[in-house]
Structure 1
Amino acid sequence: MDRTLEFGGKQIEPDVRRLSDMREVIYDIDWLKSAPDEILYYMYRDLAMSRQDRSIILDHGLRYDITVIPPGRLGSEYVKTAGHYHPEIGNTGMTYPEVYEVLHGTAHYLLQRCDEGRIVDVVLIEAHEGDKVIIPPNYGHVTINPSNKELKMANWVSRNFSSIYEPYKKCGGAAYFELAGGKMVRNGRCDHQPDLRYLKPSNIGKVGFAKGREMYGLVRDIEKLGYLNSPGEYQWLWDEVLSDKNRVNAPIL
Structure 2
Amino acid sequence: MGNELEFYGKTHSPDIRMLHDMDEVVHDQAWLRSQDNIELYYMYRDLSANGDDHKKIVDNRLRYDITIIPPAMLSDEYVKTAGHYHPAVEGHNLSYAELYQVLEGKATYLLQKAEHGKIVDVIVYEATAGDLVLVPPGYGHITINKTQETLKMANWVCRDFSSLYDPIKKLSGGAYYLLKDGFVKNPEYLSVPGIRYEEPHDYPEAGLFCGTDMYVMVKEIEKLDFLVHPQDHPEIFGQVISV
1:137 aligns with 2:145: no
| TM-score, length of structure 2 as denominator length | 0.96
Q: Find the counterpart in structure 2 of residue 151 from structure 1.
A: 151
Give the superposition deviation at 1:2.
Answer: 2.1
Equivalent residue runs for 1:67-216 within 5 Å: 67-181=67-181, 183-216=182-215
Give the superposition deviation at 1:90.
Answer: 1.2
What is the one-letter code of the residue matched to 1:226?
A: D
* Partners of 1:118 and 1:210 in 2: CA distance: 33
* Partners of 2:92 and 2:154 in 1: CA distance: 27
Structure 1, unaligned runs of 5 or more: 244-253
Q: Deviations over 1:41-94 (max 9, x none)?
A: 000000000111001101100000000000011110000000000000113110
**SS of residue paired to 1:217:** helix
What is the one-letter code of the residue matched to 1:50?
A: N
1:21 aligns with 2:17: no
Q: In 2, are the aligned partners of 1:134 and 1:202 still within 8 Å (CA)? A: no
Give the superposition deviation at 1:123.
Answer: 0.6
Q: Find the counterpart in structure 2 of residue 233 from structure 1.
A: 232
Give the superposition deviation at 1:190.
Answer: 1.3
Give the superposition deviation at 1:210.
Answer: 2.3
Q: In 1, are the aligned partners of 2:89 and 2:96 still within 8 Å (CA)? A: yes
**SS of residue paired to 2:170:** helix
Structure 2, unaligned runs of 5 or more: none
What is the one-letter code of the residue matched to 1:238?
A: F
* Partners of 1:25 and 1:155 in 2: CA distance: 22
* Partners of 2:205 and 2:128 in 1: CA distance: 20
Q: Find the counterpart in structure 2 of residue 247 from structure 1.
A: none
Question: Matched residues, percent identical?
Answer: 48
Q: In 2, are the aligned partners of 1:172 and 1:190 still within 8 Å (CA)? A: no
Q: Deviations over 1:87-126 (max 9, x none)?
A: 0011311001000000000001100011111111111011
What is the one-letter code of the residue matched to 1:52?
A: D
Q: In 1, are the aligned partners of 2:205 and 2:235 still within 8 Å (CA)? A: no
* Partners of 1:89 and 1:63 in 2: CA distance: 16
Q: Deviations over 1:152-193 (max 9, x none)?
A: 000000000000000011000000000024x10000011221
**SS of residue paired to 1:224:** helix
**SS of residue paired to 2:63:** strand
* Partners of 1:177 and 1:77 in 2: CA distance: 7
Range 193-202 or range 165-174, more displaced: 193-202
Number of residue pairs the alignment of both structures matches: 241
Range 187-196 or range 166-175, more displaced: 187-196
* Partners of 2:206 and 2:114 in 1: CA distance: 26
**SS of residue paired to 1:52:** helix
Range 97-106 or range 191-200, more displaced: 191-200
Q: Find the counterpart in structure 2 of residue 41 from structure 1.
A: 41
Give the superposition deviation at 1:144.
Answer: 0.2
Q: Find the counterpart in structure 2 of residue 246 from structure 1.
A: none
Deviating beyond 3 angstroms after TM superposition, the runs of 4 or more aligned structure 1 residues are none
Aligned-residue CA RMSD in angstroms?
A: 1.3
What is the one-letter code of the residue matched to 1:225?
A: L
Q: Deviations over 1:1-21 (max 9, x none)?
A: 820011132210000000110
**SS of residue paired to 1:134:** strand
Range 197-206 or range 9-18, more displaced: 197-206
**SS of residue paired to 1:112:** strand
